[in-house]
Chain A
Amino acid sequence: MMLKLNDIHTFYGNIQALKGVSLEIEEGEIITLIGSNGAGKTTTLMSVCGLTPPRTGEILFRGKQIHALNADKIVALGISQIPEGRRIFPEFTIKENLEMGAYLRNDKVEIRKDLDYMFDLFPILKERQNQRGGSLSGGEQQMLAISRALMARPTLLLLDEPSLGLAPIIVRQIFDIIKKINQEQKTTIFLVEQNANLALKVAHRGYVMENGQITLVDSASNLLNDEAVKKIYLGA
């Protein structure tokens, strides 16, 4: 078991966003969490990475409790997060952005290697490595955000809405890359998405969330064919 959320309740002040969420992620899986706006998907992710620590419940990463740790300690354990809205550093060059991803690492040679790997993954970034991050288009920024998170060599990658505000063709490209990362690097991926159709196509298993609670768990292919899911999230 890689990550286990055990009945977590998260609040923003007095407002309860998560009402007892439990989920499990196995090593090497792509898990997706789908749901409508305000269901608590992003909050679940932020609870895992320590930005909005849960009030009750526990989060276990490889059997170790992490819900009381600071965000930076959680990253050090190998959980990288790609925040919603990409949040690249606009004034840093692309290369500097990637180097920031490896902030916690000291092995220069390996960092260099990973940098080359990212440039292989996204050749456009190599071309523009000395440009400011802010000068990139939305899709390129998303690519940068993904590779920046990978620079930390995470074992678990948390992705928050990679399709947000991107053209369909770019979204498809990004999802292909997500799949590739999962296969090549054996990185476990926890994907939060509104675009349920695409997310379920790349994922192994899916969770459906509604009003701060998990309502459905199944394999991705089953969810794709589930009548209720189809009706609500797939628009068919």
Chain B
Amino acid sequence: MAEFKKSFIAALWFVILTFPFVAMKVDSFEKVVTWRWDNVLYMGVGCFFFSWLWRYLLQRKEFSKTEDKNKKSLFQQTLKDRLFSDPKVFRPVLIAAFCVAVIFPFLFSPYQTTIMTTALIYVVLGLGLNIVVGLAGLLDLGYVAFYAVGAYSYALFNYYYGWGFWSILPAGAILAAMFGVVLGVPVLRLRGDYLAIVTLGFGEIIRLILENWDEVTFGPQGIPNIPKPNFFGLEMDFQTTTLYMYFVVFVMTIFTIVVVRRLNNSRIGRAWIALREDEIACQAMGIDTTKTKLIAFGLGATWAGMMGVFFAAKNSFVNPHSFTFIQSAMILCIVVLGGMGSIVGAILAALILVLLPEYLRAFSEYRMLIFGGIMIIMMVFRPEGLISNVRRKYELHGGEKN
């Protein structure tokens, strides 16, 4: 009953707040006010309903938490756990996803393929940032800077020296890694909020340099006519190029997933997670925290650099406007939404965050509203992300109990 009362108050409050623009329609020519009382009613009932639903779900969440503890159902496997821990289930799913991805461009139009290509770029970016934020726990708000470094290294090397895509791909990655280490050195002592602010500043510095160094980067005009990657010098029409670009990024995505997975389970991966958990304990274990952090920054930036090169090639145009803070925020959203440190989570989140807005074009005016709403709901009900890292689960094998 108390819940009903609270919901009622919330609804009433909302009705009062929104009253002027929901109920009154002012015609400034006729100088009359039309009162739309039915709107007020809808608003009130709607708010009441949502508020009540919200409370109900919150309560259920709390309830299930306590119940979990009582029953020790932490040891029970949910469907999701089975999906990711049991290879018998996981492998077919993986193979199916792979097959779908391979035949995707043949089933759908070039337009869809292009969207998917963009989504895959964000998958790789999400996985890259996942190393820095998800594993090492270093909150990086300027990740897009490394993306910009990659993109501009292709644009500039191509414009001035005529280098091709395939030779710049590793060069751009290495350059971005170097920038990552350069950023890493001054922020070694910083943690949490302070680190976030410095990285944010670094991201802006890179963008501002690109915007203002007219003689080299052509400022806000950007650099046009960047060639697409070639395939052993073959001439390709528009459709084949789209297809080709899709498969290039697809292979790079697979490569990223394999490497990040290996890193995850490696010695350095353990060190990153330990660093996230407790820095002093890390030092007591003999982990070189300086080196470990720099490697995280460097390796994280590498993927952004690679994708930057690819992005420049895909759009055949770069300008500083593609590398604003909102991009960093977007990639960070992918990591957080997917679940810190989780590979499958990052992939899913990237696909959702890129594809959803594309397919919600019909509601394009409400896009940010929906987006924001999803984020709020996610953080309240699943703060650990869509797919929390497997590490956070209890493992208990039947035989070892007692």
Contacts and interface: CB of A to CB of B under 8 A. Distances in A.
B395 interface: yes
Contact of B270 (A51, A90, A100): A100
Interface in B250-267: 267
A83 B274 contact: no
Contacts of B287: 72, 103
A130 interface: yes
Interface stretch (B151-159, B205-213, B275-283, B323-331): B275-283
B365 interface: no
A148 B281 CA distance: 10
B397 interface: yes
A49 B280 CA distance: 11
B397 A130 contact: yes
Interface residues of B, number: 25
A152 interface: yes
Interface stretch (A73-81, A164-172, A191-199, A223-231): A73-81
Interface in B264-311: 267, 270-271, 273-274, 277-278, 280-281, 283-290
A75 B395 contact: no
Interface string A85-107: 00111111100100111011000
Interface size class of A (residues with CB under 8 A): 20 to 34
B395 A130 contact: yes
A82 B284 contact: yes
B305 to A, nearest CB: 29
Contacts of B391: 91-92
B226 to A, nearest CB: 44
B34 interface: no
Nearest to B395: A130
Most chain A CB within a 10 A radius of its CB, from B267, B281, B286, B288: B286
B284 A92 contact: no
Contacts, number: 79
A204 to B, nearest CB: 25
A56 interface: no
B109 interface: no
Contact of B283 (A51, A131, A132): A51
Interface in A143-192: 148-149, 152
B277 A91 contact: yes
B400 interface: yes
A141 to B, nearest CB: 12
Nearest to A80: B284
B400 A130 contact: yes
Contacts of B290: 70
B402 interface: yes
Contacts of A50: 283
13 contacts: A49-B284, A50-B283, A51-B283, A72-B283, A75-B284, A83-B281, A89-B281, A90-B277, A96-B270, A100-B270, A129-B400, A130-B395, A130-B396
Interface in B380-402: 391-392, 394-397, 400, 402
Contacts of B395: 93, 130
B283 A71 contact: yes
Contact of B289 (A72, A76, A96, A135): A72
Given A91-B392, A103-B271, A130-B395, A152 B286 contact: yes
A103 B286 contact: yes
A72 to B, nearest CB: 4
Given A72-B286, A103-B285, A87 B280 contact: yes
A89 B273 CA distance: 9
Contacts of B277: 89-92
B342 to A, nearest CB: 13
Contacts of A101: 285
B276 to A, nearest CB: 8
Given A90-B277, A130-B394, A131-B394, A71 B284 contact: yes
A83 B282 CA distance: 11
A19 B289 CA distance: 29
A51 B288 contact: no
Given A87-B280, A88-B281, A131-B394, A72 B288 contact: yes
Contacts of A131: 394, 396
Contacts of A132: 392, 394
Contacts of A87: 278, 280-281, 284
A90 B394 CA distance: 12
A100 B283 contact: no
Nearest to B286: A75
Contact of B284 (A81, A90, A93): A81
A51 B279 CA distance: 11
B280 A83 contact: yes
Nearest to B275: A89
Nearest to B283: A71
